[in-house]
Amino acid sequence: MTATILDGKATATAIKDELRARVAALPAPPGLGTILVGDDPGSHAYVAGKHRDCAEVGIASIRYDLPATATQQEVEAAVRALNEDPACTGYIVQLPLPAGLDEQRILELIDPDKDADGLHPTNLGRLVLNIPAPLPCTPNGIVQLLRRHNVPINGAEVTAIGRGTTAGRPLGLIFTRKSENATVTLCHTGTRDLAAHTRTADIVIVAAGSAALLTRDMVKPGAAVLDVGVTRIVDETTGKARLVGDVAPDVAEVAGYLAPMPGGVGPMTRAMLLANVVDLAERRSTNA
Ligand SMILES: Nc1nc2c(c(=O)[nH]1)N[C@@H](CN(C=O)c1ccc(C(=O)N[C@@H](CCC(=O)O)C(=O)O)cc1)CN2
């Protein structure tokens, strides 16, 4: 068996086409703000990609790029500025923040009605209570990718690996809603027998940041496998970085569907950010 590829790039392009039409119907262009702190090359690349996406669909960009030495007060000032900025429909604080900054306090200062990442405690609470709110982009992107490829979710056994705030933790909340109706097992570094949980799953989502963690012997034949992990391995002689996912390449020989890294979940994460901004703008224009 060779897995059918869940092509996140093509799916994200289709979603961006839909969003471009929705943006054109708004009374004014929405604006996405980003706050980026420090020099992490991955974070710089992701933020640059988010602004390229904005330009593609007609969303305006507002950037706050702060040095790695930025203080808690300086980051909080950027958050307050975006909360007050009428040109900003929604915004994100790129994670992870450099060590020493109080990430939780910074996320809590975001105006929940401008929370383009769906990571504010109020919006995570709304997700728990089934109240409409922006959804965290990675798990929402995974659901959309599966749906648009007709992979059954209703009743599926889903095993997720990784309990991070952006992917694994909210994934359980989204997949167990009535609208998805899946059963979720959330595995992490304290899980005793990881393979026992992945081998029985219809859908395996790996967001551990551990290169080639999921091997072919850990996958039920025909299962859908989604790779969220990105590990940058820098060649010591050339200095060039190589990206490795959490899923070993030969998993494609047993899985029924595979969202690879690159080209699977990552582009969907970016598309869902745009979707959240457009949703916020539409909500704002309806309530105006
Ligand atoms: N505030 C947030 N911070 C972070 C989030 C998030 O959703 N909100 N998620 C990740 C990073 N991320 C978006 O911010 C992200 C990660 C990966 C990709 C992507 O397109 N990846 C490529 C390949 C990897 C690469 O080129 O480096 C792919 O999969 O094709 C997009 C967005 C953590 N921080």
CA of 50 to the centre of ligand 1 (A): 9
The CATH number of whichever domain residue 151 belongs to comes to: 3.40.50.720
Please confirm, yes or no, whether 250 is among the known catalytic residues.
Answer: no
Single pTM value for the model? 0.97
Q: State the total domains in the chain.
A: 2
Residue pLDDT, tens place only, 104-159: 999 999 999 999 999 999 999 999 999 999 999 999 999 999 999 999 999 999 99
Distances from the Cα of 238 to the Cα of 45, 58, 233, 241, 244, angstroms:
20, 39, 12, 9, 17
Q: Is residue 117 lining ligand 1, measured as CB closer than 6 Å?
A: yes
Q: What is the ipTM of this complex?
A: 0.98
> What is the residue range of 101's domain?
28-111
Whether the Cβ atoms of residue 95 and residue 138 lie closer than 8 Å to each other: no
The CATH number of whichever domain residue 36 belongs to comes to: 3.40.50.10860
CA of 267 to the centre of ligand 1 (A): 8
**CA–CA dist 191, 3 (Å, integer):** 27
**CA–CA dist 181, 280 (Å, integer):** 26
Does residue 10 sit within a domain?
A: no
**CA–CA dist 125, 160 (Å, integer):** 21
Residues 173 and 103 in one domain: no
**CA–CA dist 275, 277 (Å, integer):** 5
Please confirm, yes or no, whether 72 is among the known catalytic residues.
Answer: no
Residue pLDDT, tens place only, 19-48: 999 999 999 999 999 999 999 999 999 999
Does residue 2 sit within a domain?
A: no
Q: Which of 40, 94, 114, 115 is catalytic?
A: 94
Q: Is residue 159 lining ligand 1, measured as CB closer than 6 Å?
A: no
